[in-house]
Structure 1
Amino acid sequence: MSDIKIDGFKSSDVLAALAKAFEGYSDEERKAQIKKTNGIFEMRVKNEEGKEGVWTIDLKQTGSVYKGEPKSKANVTLILSDETFTQLAEGKLDGQKAFHDW
């Protein structure tokens, strides 16, 4: 998972864990998740130093998470701070509150 992590981004740990979970899916589980979600999510995350990291969660074609922009057009692009992403992932902040504060 080191290819997903970027130094200085707490969110990369979360995304690396998600990638590892996806890798553990059987083909049937992966296909079911793709059918259920049917979307490509581009995550644009800024850290405290103002640097941007980009990751893609592809639940439309490959059932994978990878570092970088989507290989196909994203259905959803989220632009958020590293802190906000981490708080959302940890359940310390709900999406509606995060959107409102932005």
Structure 2
Amino acid sequence: KYEVSHCVPEGPDTAGRYVADCPVFDDLWKLRFWDYPFRLQEGQHPGKGWAEKREAPSPRQLLLLTNYGIMHLNDIARGQDAFHLLRDVGDSSWVDNYRKGY
């Protein structure tokens, strides 16, 4: 329904199935942070975040997040907005725009 393609079970018979590993959840921290904000476990390499500033998203990035009901840095996306955000976080062109801007 919401086209979160990275979280859709694969195969011919997907009715009633769910996905145990949805990689877009692992990328949500990148919206807010430049560096991984949590303690790393041995062997963990989460990469860099997408925020333009070290401590927070830039005003331009925060403006993009308002499309998902996130009006302030500490807000969260809810309902359909949350699913739309998950869909877009899995879209490389959206991520590229969020990171670099056009």
TM-score past 0.5 threshold: no
The structure having more radius of gyration, on CA atoms, is 2
